[in-house]
Amino acid sequence: MGLSGCREEKYAVNGNNTLVLGFAQLGAESSWRIGNTKSITEAAREAGIQLMFTEAEQKQENQIKNIRSFIAYQVDVIAFAPIVETGWENVLLEAKEAGIPVILTDRTIEGFEDLYTCYIGSDFITEGKMAGQFLKKKFAKEKSEVNIVELVGTVGSSPAEERSKGFRQAISDDQRFKIIKSVSGDFMQSKGKEAMSKILQECDDIDVYYSYCPDPIYYEHHLFEYSNSSVRKADT
């Protein structure tokens, strides 16, 4: 049986009772994600696991299709990094009915805890709170308003939604902090650059720049340097 968009890596220590893992990666949108994929591949090799790997090109419908392919192939375990939080109930129910445990990695889904075995990843709400607490400390002596622009990740994904929630919770009791612009870079370099260009055209008094995206930071400093925007205090 063929798996669309799937490459099969065999890392069996021997030919007997080899665990087959189907990993439905969301894509290769950033250097972080590429490194994540490399880590998964290396870990499978070291553990003697037969890895079946797919990439969904940042499309939920592709990820669902790939998971269904793993179910049809009857892999032992399915793991995936859900591109968004919602829309997974049917395919996860199919996996459960097939007796295949599902592991969420890096990102979570909304509800349906009974349809997956575990989640391996970060506490994004805490990350957002830590960013807000850092700003409070950074601007402890500042009396004027602090204008913040925010470049979030994929709308509807747990990293974007939960970091945003934690960040806002942390700064909500301090009226000095104002989020004057919040746009999505979709965790992609091209979209992040486009979003930052738009921000710099529309905002001329930026104190803090808060990015969820790992790659764009390199050219964002360049954009600030050559734009007409006045970053008066800090970019984070």
Tell me what pLDDT residue 179 has. Answer: 93
CA distances from 66 to 69, 71, 181 (A): 5, 9, 36
Indicate if 115 and 138 belong to the same structural domain: no
Q: Is the pLDDT of residue 6 over 60?
A: no
Q: Is the pLDDT of residue 1 over 50?
A: no
Q: Is the pLDDT of residue 33 over 90?
A: no
With bands split at pLDDT 50, 70 and 90, how would you rate the model's confidence at 29?
Answer: confident
Residue 58 domain-assigned (yes or no): yes
Domain boundary residue among 90, 120, 150?
120
Distance CA 131, CA 166 (A): 9
Domain boundary residue among 52, 85, 120?
120
Indicate if 44 and 23 belong to the same structural domain: yes
Indicate if 133 and 55 belong to the same structural domain: no
Indicate if 108 and 184 belong to the same structural domain: no
Number of domains in the chain: 2
Tell me what pLDDT residue 65 has. Answer: 97
Flag the least confident range among 40-49, 103-112, 145-154, 195-204.
195-204
User: Phi then psi for 83, rounded to 5 degrees?
Assistant: -65, -35
Residue 204 domain-assigned (yes or no): yes
Cβ neighbours around 222 below 10 Å, total = 11
Indicate if 144 and 101 belong to the same structural domain: no
Residue 59 domain-assigned (yes or no): yes
Residue that has been written with the tokens 């902090």 in this structure? 177
Domain boundary residue among 88, 120, 152?
120
Q: Domain residues for 148? A: 124-231
Averaged over 8-33, what is the pLDDT?
72
Tell me what pLDDT residue 234 has. Answer: 43
Q: Is the pLDDT of residue 152 over 90?
A: no
- List CB contacts of 178: < 8 A, sequence separation 6 or more: 145, 146, 147, 148
Residue 151 domain-assigned (yes or no): yes
Give tens-digit pLDDT for 56-77.
998 999 999 999 999 999 999 9
Tell me what pLDDT residue 136 has. Answer: 93
Tell me what pLDDT residue 58 has. Answer: 86
Tell me what pLDDT residue 182 has. Answer: 86
